[in-house]
Amino acid sequence: MNEQDAPMPQDLRATDRRTFLSRAAALSLAIPGVALVSCSTGQQEHTDTAHGAAGPGATTGNRQPHNSDSRLDSSLLEPEHRAGTSATGSAAVGAPNTTYHRWDPTLPPPAPGGRVQLHWHAREAPVRISDDTAVAGWTFEGDIPGPIVHCRVGDTVEFTLTNDADIPHSMDFHAAQIDPKESFKSVVKGQSLTFTYRPKHAGAFMYHCGTAPVLMHIGSGMFGCIVVSPREPLPPAKEFVLVQNEFYLADAAQGVRASDYQKMLNTLPDIVCFNGRPNQYVKEPIRVKVGDRVRFWVVSAGPSHPCNFHVVGEQFDKVYLGAPPGNAITGVQTFTVAPGGGMVFELVCDVPGEFPFVNHGFGHGQKGAVGILVVES
Ligand SMILES: [Cu+2]
């Protein structure tokens, strides 16, 4: 028997296992199965601590950065669900009767009074993303993406998350500068968590669930966009929000396709799209008039791929790389929005026509990340 075959002493194996899990969880990489082993050891090293506005079920993950706590891993609480997929709880219930709707990309006006109060629910729900496909969604407020939020720099955003789902969820706003261990921590079923922040910079910011494994939670639908406008308004424009995401889907079962964690790890998506529906703005375009300035607030939610944003037959007068009106570059054909990033794209429609807007990484454009901007005379 060589050294590698020798049985590891029980205490050493447990220590190594805990060390590995601690590191994996700290990186939000806890994976189904691995975390289950952690749970079965019965050797938890810290206890839940409720403080702040969190309920007693929320945890601090106090040995780890971020909110990753392997006891709250998505795989733990529903061992009967289809392994490694989003077909949990009510995520697939009623899917055949779920109707399709176009996701309105219009940027709503900023919240009045300098204060945004949001009370959202983390929900499992089927979401129909095309006539022939419903996905088993993990959602904020029942849709993919979650709602658009619009405020101005310096406004107060007061956010409450209530978790209606069996699996823990959380909220991570990229527009916030805040202690993530406190505010972005996981919330268990029936509990709520409130936090408040004031955005420091303007821009298109992603929000998403940050519960481990983050890949699974974003990949199953828990993401969206908060637009932070500068205090001094940008030039008048027709403003739209485009959030690109990928879907990694298992085969249909009972009229629904669940998100597949192993496919997410392989990063070869079935669908890439804007605002949660492949080709939706080809079927029902975005419409403006000649002479309009058009401003796209583009977020790439990933979970793993960028958006190489381009409008066929147009050039961007300006692309704000961040903090508009600062950081503008001009005369741009295509610019890449990183996963987890957001940028602002402006063009002026000088001539009428139908202008496709695409992810110019065409393997992804072909999978649904394409729409049409109709400019009417
Ligand atoms: Cu989540």
Predicted confidence (pLDDT) per residue in 165-200, tens digit: 999 999 999 999 999 999 999 999 999 999 999 999
Angle between helices 10-26 and 34-41 (to 10 degrees): 130
Structure confidence at residue 69 as a pLDDT band (50, 70, 90): very low
CA of 70 to the centre of ligand 1 (A): 14
Look at residue 31 in the predicted model and tell me its pLDDT. 39
CA of 218 to the centre of ligand 1 (A): 7
User: Measured between alpha carbons, how far is 299 from 221 in angstroms, rounded to an integer?
Assistant: 14
Phi-psi region of 210 (alpha: psi -120 to 50; beta: other; left: phi over 0): alpha
Per-residue pLDDT at 326 exceeds 90? yes
CA of 17 to the centre of ligand 1 (A): 25
Mean pLDDT across 52-63: 34
Query: pTM to 2 decimals?
Result: 0.82
CA of 214 to the centre of ligand 1 (A): 7
Look at residue 59 in the predicted model and tell me its pLDDT. 36
Per-residue pLDDT at 99 exceeds 70? yes
Q: Bigger pLDDT: 298 or 95?
A: 298
Q: Is the dihedral of CA 159, 221, 256, 96 positive or negative?
A: positive
Q: Bigger pLDDT: 60 or 19?
A: 19
CA of 170 to the centre of ligand 1 (A): 6
CA of 368 to the centre of ligand 1 (A): 24
CB 168, CB 194: distance < 8 Å: no
Tell me the C-alpha to C-alpha distance, in Å, between residue 232 and each of 46, 152, 198. Answer: 48, 9, 16
Tell me the C-alpha to C-alpha distance, in Å, between residue 369 and each of 100, 134, 150, 346, 354. Answer: 18, 18, 24, 19, 16
Look at residue 89 in the predicted model and tell me its pLDDT. 87
CA of 284 to the centre of ligand 1 (A): 30
Per-residue pLDDT at 254 exceeds 50? yes
Query: What DSSP string describes 167-193?
Result: S-B--EETT--S-HHHHS--B-TT-EE
Structure confidence at residue 47 as a pLDDT band (50, 70, 90): very low
| Per-residue pLDDT reduced to its tens digit, 120-143 | 999 999 999 999 999 999 999 999
CA of 222 to the centre of ligand 1 (A): 6
Give the percent of the chain with pLDDT over 70.
78
User: Measured between alpha carbons, how far is 196 from 205 in angstroms, rounded to an integer?
Assistant: 16
Per-residue pLDDT at 15 exceeds 70? no
HSE-up of residue 353 (Cα within 13 Å, Cβ side): 11
Closest CA to 207 of 181, 243, 239: 243
pLDDT averaged over the chain? 84
Per-residue pLDDT at 344 exceeds 90? yes
